[in-house]
Amino acid sequence: MCGIAGIVNLTEYKPVAEGLLRAMADTMVHRGPNDSGVWVSDDRQTGMSHRRLSIVDLSPAGRQPMTNEDGSVWVTFNGEIYNFRQLRLELENKGHRFRSNTDTEVLVHLYEEHGNAFVEALDGDFAIGLWDDAKKRLVLCRDRVGVKPLYYIRTQYRLYFASEIKALLQAADVEARLNKRAFYHYLSYLVAPTPHTMVRGVKKLPPAGILVVQQGDTRVPDVRLFWEALPRRPQLSENLDEQLKSLFESSVRKRLMSDVPLGLLFSGGVDSTLNLCIFSALRDAGVAKTFTVTMETDGDFLGDREHAREMAKVLGSDHHEIRITNRDMVEVALKLAGIQDEPISDPTNIPHYFVTRLARESGCTVLQAGEGADELFCGYDKYLRFMRYEEKYWRPLSKLPRFVPAMASGALRIMKTSSRLRKIQDSLSRMAKGQKFFLSSVLAFYEGEKRCLLSRHLLDELGDTDSFEVVVPYYERLHEHKPQASLLDAMTYIDLNVQLPELLLMRADKMSMANSVEVRVPFLDRDLIDFALSVPQSFKLRDGVLKEPLKRLASQYVPRERVYRPKIGFGTPVLDWFKKGELRDDFVAQLHVDRTDIGLLFDVKQIENKLHHGLTSVNDAFQLWTIYNFLKWKQAYAVQV
C-alpha cells in the first residue's frame, strides 16, 4: 500500500507547484514511510506525488510516480496487482520493455495497449491515478469492492485527487467545511455513503469506479462503473464445494506475493481459521505469525480469547496478543479521529489500530484479514432475522393501506420505547412511505431518532431528506437486473456497496495504514466474489447454517466442533466505556469545546440527557459513540459548519 496524490489544471494555467504536491504526499507518510517521489509535467499543468510502502521489488526502481519508455504516460498507484506477472509476459510479447520488477510498471504499458479499458484486466486491490500526456487526460480508478480509498475534488480551476482527504486540504482552494447532507446520512450508516464525504465538495470514487478528466473540458465528468456486485446466473454444478476450495486456495496463493514478512489477523473464528489453514499449507517460509486483540474489562467483549489461543496452538502459528484498556481508548481517540480522514464510527477501529501496531512491531508489514466473508456467504445473524421478519411481518403488513402502519408508527413514536420497539416503529414508518425493508446490516440512528436529536436549524435546512435515498439507486439497479431478486440478494448487493467498502474496508485501511501495515482480504478476490454471487441461496445457507460452505471447508483442516461453534463476534465494550466515566467525562468536555457550532447541528441538551440519564443499553452507547467520534473528528480537522 501507498499514498497517492495529484493535481490537474482544468481551465486556469497557473503552474502546478512541486512543493504543494510534496506537501500533499507528506501528510500520508504513514502510508508510505520507505520512499517518496514527485513528478510535474513539462508544461507544469499537471503533477503527481507518491509515498511508498515497499512490498514488491524493494529497490529504487520501484519509485513512483512511474512512466513508460517515452514519458508519455505517468502513474501513481496504491495497491497490489496480483496478476501482474501474467500481464507483464503478455505485454513483453507485444514488444513492451520493463525497467523494474514491480506491478506498477505494468499499468502504464497496459494502458498503452487498451486505453481506459486497461482497468478491466486487473486482478487486485488498487487506487490509480494515470496521466496521458499526449491526450492531456487523467484517469482515476478504484478496485472492484473498494479495498483502497481514492478521494477527489474539483474546484473552480483544478481537480485534486489523493488517497486521503487530509492531503486534499493542503490546497489553498479546498476548505474543511461540513457536508451536512452527508453528515445526516452518517448518523444512520456510520459513514458518509459514496460518492459524498463529510467534507463539502470532496467526493470518493465508488468501488469499481473510473473517472476520466480531459484537460480544458469544463463539463462535470461522469463516473462509470467497470464492474458491479450484482447476482449472477445461478450455478447448478454438483461440485460447488470443490470449486470454493480451489478458488479460495488460489486467492490466498495470490496474496502471498510479497518481498516483506506476512502475518494474519486472527480471532479463532471460521474466517481467520480457514485463512490460516490455507495460508500455512501454501506458504513455504516458516511458521505463520498470528495477531489478536482483547479488551481488559469485566467481560470478554472482543471475541473468545482462549479459543483464539487454542486454535493458534492447534494450527501451530506463532501467536501474538495485545490487551487494551479503557484508558488506552480515550488517550488515542483524537489521534484516531485524525487518522480516519472522515468519521468511521465502528468502535472496533480502536482494537484494529492496536493489533496492527502490534503486528508492525513484531516485524510484519502485510496482514491477511477476513473482511467480506459475511457479506458474500451469509454470515450475519441479522441476515436470518431480516429474512424471517420480512416473510412473517413485512410482507403481510405491507399489503394494508398505508395509513395503518403510519398510525401505528405514530403511536409508538410518542411512547418511551425499547430499542426493539424503536426498530419496529422505524419499519412501520418506512412502510407507510412505501420504502423497502432493508437499509443496511448496521445502523446507528433511525430517521425518527435523528430528528429528535438534531437542531431545528439543521432540520429546516435539510427539509425532507431521508437516508433511505442512499439505497434507492441500488434497489432500482437490482430490480432492473433481476426483477425477482430475493431479500438475500438485496442485502448482499447493498452491503457490498455501502457497509463493506466505506465502513469495514476503510476501517481496515485507515487503522492498518496508520501503522504502515498493508491488509489483504482473500475473501474478496474477484473470482471468489463472482462465484459467491452465482451460487444458490440454498448453498450459502445449507441446513440453515450461516456461512455453511466456509465452515464445511474449514472442517477439512480442524475438528468440526471447533468450526461449527456459535459465532462469538468481534465487538467492543462501548457501554462499559461510557459507564466507567473516562469516556463520558471526555464527551462532556467535547460538547463544550465548540458549543455554539455544535448547537447548529444538534440539540445539545438531548445529547447531555442521553449521556447522563438515557444510557441503558449497548444501542444507546453505540449511538453516543457515533456522535462522540464525529465531534473528535470535527476537532481534529477544525471542520467548520
pLDDT tens digits, 592-608:
877 888 999 999 999 98
pLDDT of 301 > 70? The answer is no
DSSP code of residue 196:
B
Q: Are the CB atoms for 166 and 27 separated by under 8 Å?
A: yes
* Gyration radius (Cα) of the chain, Å: 24
pLDDT of 337 > 60? The answer is yes
Share of the chain above pLDDT 70, in %: 94
What is the pLDDT averaged over residues 386-408? 78
89-98, 277-286, 416-425, 494-503: the lowest-pLDDT one: 416-425
What is the pLDDT averaged over residues 131-152? 97
Question: How much is the pLDDT for 299?
Answer: 52
pLDDT band of 503, cuts 50, 70, 90: very high
What is the pLDDT averaged over residues 578-593? 80
Question: How much is the pLDDT for 569?
Answer: 58
CATH number attached to the domain at 2-225: 3.60.20.10
Sheet holding 73-81, edge to edge: 66-67, 73-81, 124-132, 137-142, 209-214, 223-225
The predicted-structure confidence for 69-119, as pLDDT tens digits, reads as follows: 999 999 999 999 999 999 999 999 999 999 999 999 999 999 999 999 999
Question: How much is the pLDDT for 291?
Answer: 95
Share of the chain above pLDDT 90, in %: 63
Stretch(es) of the chain classified as CATH 3.60.20.10: 2-225
pLDDT of 359 > 90? The answer is yes
pLDDT of 12 > 80? The answer is no
pLDDT of 399 > 80? The answer is no
Q: pTM of the prediction?
A: 0.94
Question: Cell numbers 481514492 correspond to what residue?
Answer: 150
Which ranges of 341-486 does DSSP label H, i.e. alpha helix?
A: 349-361, 373-376, 381-389, 395-398, 403-413, 419-432, 447-453, 456-462, 472-481
pLDDT band of 567, cuts 50, 70, 90: low
Q: Rounded distance, CA 508 to CA 593, Å? A: 30
Residue partners of 224: CB distance under 8 A and separation at least 6: 209, 210
Sheet holding 318-324, edge to edge: 318-324, 289-295, 262-265, 366-368, 518-520
Positive or negative, the CA dihedral 58, 64, 67, 71 is: negative
Q: Rounded distance, CA 149 to CA 125, Å? A: 10
Residue bearing the bigger pLDDT, 406 or 143: 143
Instruction: Calculate the alpha carbon distances from 275 to 251, 259, 265 in Å.
Output: 10, 20, 9
Residue partners of 489: CB distance under 8 A and separation at least 6: 231, 478, 482
Question: How much is the pLDDT for 163?
Answer: 98
Which of 543, 523, 542 shows the shortest CA–CA distance to 533?
523
CB atoms within 10 A of CB 216: 10
What is the pLDDT averaged over residues 56-80? 91
Residue 81 phi, psi dihedral angles, 5° rounding: -110, 105
pLDDT band of 532, cuts 50, 70, 90: very high
pLDDT of 417 > 70? The answer is no
Q: Classify 363 in phi/psi space as left (phi over 0), alpha (psi -120 to 50) or beta.
A: left
Beta-sheet pairing, 35-40 with 66-67:
unpaired
Helix or strand holding residue 131 (H, E): strand 124-132
pLDDT band of 429, cuts 50, 70, 90: confident
**Domain 240-378+503-563, what fold?**
Rossmann fold (3.40.50)
Average predicted confidence (pLDDT) for the chain: 89
Question: Cell numbers 463493506 correspond to what residue?
Answer: 500
Q: Rounded distance, CA 197 to CA 272, Å? A: 31
The predicted-structure confidence for 152-179, as pLDDT tens digits, reads as follows: 999 988 999 999 999 999 999 999 999 9
Question: How much is the pLDDT for 440?
Answer: 92
Q: Rounded distance, CA 92 to CA 109, Å? A: 9
Beta-sheet pairing, 46-52 with 2-9:
antiparallel
Q: Rounded distance, CA 579 to CA 611, Å? A: 10
Stretch(es) of the chain classified as CATH 3.40.50.620: 240-378+503-563
Question: How much is the pLDDT for 11?
Answer: 85
Q: Are the CB atoms for 568 and 269 separated by under 8 Å?
A: yes
Question: How much is the pLDDT for 411?
Answer: 64
Residue bearing the bigger pLDDT, 322 or 394: 322
Residue bearing the bigger pLDDT, 609 or 74: 74
Question: How much is the pLDDT for 298?
Answer: 57
DSSP code of residue 362:
T
